[in-house]
């Protein structure tokens, strides 16, 4: 039988068209060839499910730091979601697939069944108007009432619809104290209401990379499936604690050296705040130690992590050094501008730390699957 050819017409948003053009050009391909190759690769990734691996979905995926960690722990990603067009470009370049867009517009039933849900959701305040009204009427308020209007609500509705065996959520350290602890209390209550055993811990990534980076990690296991579960964050960091000099490049472009105008401004700004008794100011990092926390605002002036240079002004980190500071491999490609790269790595995660937590989760699932009493 003669194979049938099929012409497919796809409606794309303007920014998606631009991303396709840029990606095709960077790969020295026509748009048609690039789409064809990407479609086949994505088809292969989604069609071939390895039953020996735990499957996971990557929500609020950013540039894929959580994905790299879980893939390192021998898990298979079967769905990803990210709305930022620049992050989607980086994700496409490194994983060969375009993450789905706005999670608020995704029907949870269309997301494939999976073993583990992974999400680095944003920290947002919760409105209490609807909750207060229900309480005054003596009626219980569920997670829908408590979390409606936030992106965490979308995490909950996916968990409710798909009931993964486990989940890992990541957020900034301040989530624990945000809104006098109320935000975290609602998050914890919402997850336990979904009938999951929930564990959390604030962990500093400096055990894995030369950076002081505290984040909260929330792990949950399905009680309907496993009953009462015990879990500990018994991490296994490398014996050699890395220092900043381990990740620095040897030949750095002069464009990363601060201008005298900016360097003078940062010094005067720091002096002003020191005199006022504040601790604000730039940070000259010790090559034999660790750096401050890399933030998404690093693109503005690089003030929080500066590298001293003999005979000239200090410099900021290069995008590749920022990638290394987060534990990304050098094989990870950076197809965006420096400013976008600084934002992306500043918003990302410590990859080897995620790998370690992913292994703990999969090891626990192995025990639970084989012996529910574990």
Residue 107, judged by CB atoms within 10 A of its CB (0-12, 13-18, 19+), counts as exposed
Distance of CA 358 to the CA centre of its chain: 13
The pair phi, psi for residue 64, each rounded to 5°, is 100, 20
Exactly one of 75, 77, 123, 156 is catalytic; which is it?
A: 123
The DSSP bridge pattern shows strands 55-59 and 76-80 to be: parallel
DSSP for 294-337?
--TTHHHH-TTSEEEETTEEEEEPPHHHHHHHTT--TTS---S-
Separation of alpha carbons 322 and 210, rounded Å: 11
Q: Is 74 left (phi over 0), alpha (psi -120 to 50) or beta?
A: left
Q: Are 44 and 327 in contact (CB under 8 A)?
A: no
Q: Is 350 helix (H, G, I), strand (E, B) or coil?
A: coil
Whats the size of the chain, residue-wise? 374
Q: How far is CA 313 from CA 253, 254, 266, 288, 298, in A?
A: 13, 10, 12, 20, 17
Burial-class residue 344 by CB neighbours within 10 Å (0-12, 13-18, 19+): buried
Instruction: Tell me how crowded residue 108 is: count the other CB atoms within 10 A of its CB.
Output: 14
Q: Is 123 considered catalytic here?
A: yes
End-to-end CA distance of the chain: 55
User: Phi and psi dihedrals of 172, rounded to 5?
Assistant: -70, 155
Tokens of 222: 């399905």
SS3 227: coil
Beta-ladder partners of 167:
117, 220
Q: For residues 198 and 187, is the Cβ–Cβ distance under 8 A?
A: no
Give the catalytic positions in this structure.
123
């Amino acid at each position: 039988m003669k194979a049938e050819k099929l012409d497919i017409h796809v409606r794309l948003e303007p920014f998606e068209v631009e991303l396709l053009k840029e990606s095709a050009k960077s790969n020295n391909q026509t748009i048609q060839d690039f789409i064809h190759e990407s479609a086949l690769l994505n088809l292969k990734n989604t069609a071939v499910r390895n039953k020996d691996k735990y499957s996971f979905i990557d929500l609020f995926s950013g540039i894929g730091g959580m994905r790299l960690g879980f893939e390192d722990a021998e898990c298979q990603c079967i769905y990803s979601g990210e709305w930022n067009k620049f992050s989607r470009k980086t994700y496409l370049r490194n994983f060969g697939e375009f993450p789905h867009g706005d999670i608020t517009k995704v029907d949870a039933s269309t997301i494939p069944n999976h073993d583990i849900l992974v999400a680095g959701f944003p920290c947002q305040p919760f409105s209490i108007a609807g909750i207060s009204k229900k309480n005054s009427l003596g009626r219980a308020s569920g997670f829908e009432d408590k979390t409606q209007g936030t992106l965490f609500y979308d995490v909950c509705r996916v968990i409710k619809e798909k009931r993964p065996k486990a989940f890992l959520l990541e957020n900034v350290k301040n989530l624990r104290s945000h809104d006098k602890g109320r935000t975290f209390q609602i998050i914890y209550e919402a997850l336990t209401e979904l009938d999951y055993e929930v564990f959390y811990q604030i962990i500093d990534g400096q055990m894995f990379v030369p950076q002081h980076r505290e984040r909260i990690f929330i792990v949950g296991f399905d009680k309907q499936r496993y009953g009462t579960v015990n879990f500990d964050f018994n991490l296994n960091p490398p014996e050699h604690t890395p220092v900043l000099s381990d990740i620095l490049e040897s030949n750095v472009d002069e464009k990363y050296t601060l201008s005298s105008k900016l360097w003078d401004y940062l010094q005067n700004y720091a002096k002003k705040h020191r005199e006022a008794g504040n601790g604000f100011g730039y940070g000259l990092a010790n090559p034999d130690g660790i750096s401050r926390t890399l933030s998404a605002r690093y693109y503005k002036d690089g003030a929080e992590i500066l590298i001293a240079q003999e005979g000239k002004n200090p410099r900021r980190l290069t995008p590749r050094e920022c990638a290394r500071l987060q534990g990304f491999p050098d094989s990870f490609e950076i197809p965006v501008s420096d400013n976008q790269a600084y934002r992306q790595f500043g918003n990302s995660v410590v990859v080897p730390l995620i790998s370690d937590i992913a292994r703990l989760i999969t090891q626990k699932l192995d025990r639970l699957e084989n012996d529910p009493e574990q």
